[in-house]
Amino acid sequence: MPKVKTAGQNLIAVVDWRPSPASLNDITIEQAIIGKSARLKYFLADDADDFTPEILGARVIIVWHNTNIPAATIAKMKQCRAIIRNGVGFDTVDVAAAAARGIAVCNVPDYGTEEVADHAIALTLALTRQLFHLDTEAKKLGWKIHGMKNLRRTSTRTFGVVGLGRIGTAAALRAKALGFRVVFYDPYLPNGVHKAVGIERAASLPELLKQCDVLSLHCPLSAATRHLIAEKELALLKPTAYVVNTARGAIIKKTAILRALREGRIAGAGLDVIEDEPLRTAEEAATPNLIATCHAAFCSVEGMIEMRSTSARIAKAAALGQPLENVVNGVDPN
């Protein structure tokens, strides 16, 4: 494919999610990096059905979370060299279909490590210290500690991590610093990793689940991890255990965890992400012992600047026919 460098022909489309634009309808960060190397334009879309001919004709597409790009949409991209996911996860893009058309799919894997790990620990402490229950009681002008039996010393509790990548490691080290015994499960890591980090390793997911007081998920969403935590897995947890998810919603089967919470089979859950998000009904929202946040674990002023700067840098390289960072589907479009 020829290296087209004229801004008029070289469109970089930034596609944000219309229901909740994460960019706050602003592309000044991207513009400062891309400059005159390409023509930059901002679009809003609910999903791929809203992709205009101009988006489909772009040389590079930067796409925000919650906007799915299926194979049928990718087939209409005649000039595209790269699709860049503004974030860590790339499960919203059909990476195989993109690879078949020679389109690189890239992500930004390192921008929100600190924020997501902090958010996981914040949810953990909110659950284990019963902050929301205590807040509700205090604001009733009352003073009854209804959850006394749930308030336990962290040094007697086990913090279980599924997926010891960048964020999982950061969360594990934070939990360790708070006094938790930390155990992880990750079948893709070599032996000895637990010694380097100073935590313990479980040989299987069931082994981890049976000993957790807090289960914190930090793995990507894939065919192997979709509904990794469902009815069978939740049944292995202690009735006093908490589940925290700051990774991807569909790693946990939504109907299974909401039912487990309603029936008191686990003590609580802190979900920044949830399958088929956001929560869809008043009944879901009223689930007892559920803390839900708005897929916001990655958010901070600093993190957003870092993420957008990285994706803009990759987009500029793609538009100019230069080598790309963070390619997740093995495609070199040059």
Q: What positions carry a catalytic annotation?
A: 248, 277, 295
User: Phi and psi dihedrals of 162, rounded to 5?
Assistant: -105, 110
Cβ-based burial of 163 (10 A; exposed 0-12, middle 13-18, buried ≥19): buried
User: Phi and psi dihedrals of 295, rounded to 5?
Assistant: 50, 50
Of the candidates 55, 22, 50, 18, the residue with the CA atom closest to the CA atom of residue 39 = 55
CB 245 within 8 A of CB 251: yes
What Cα–Cα distance (Å) separates residue 9 from each residue in 76, 118, 148? Answer: 18, 42, 65
What Cα–Cα distance (Å) separates residue 222 from each residue in 48, 89, 94, 115, 189? Answer: 20, 10, 11, 23, 17
Of the candidates 82, 272, 246, the residue with the CA atom closest to the CA atom of residue 166 = 246
Spell out a b/e string for 148-161, using b for 16 or more CB atoms within 10 Å of the CB, else e: eebeeebeebbbbb
Tokens of 290: 């559920």
Distance CA 334, CA 332 (A): 6
Distance CA 323, CA 321 (A): 7
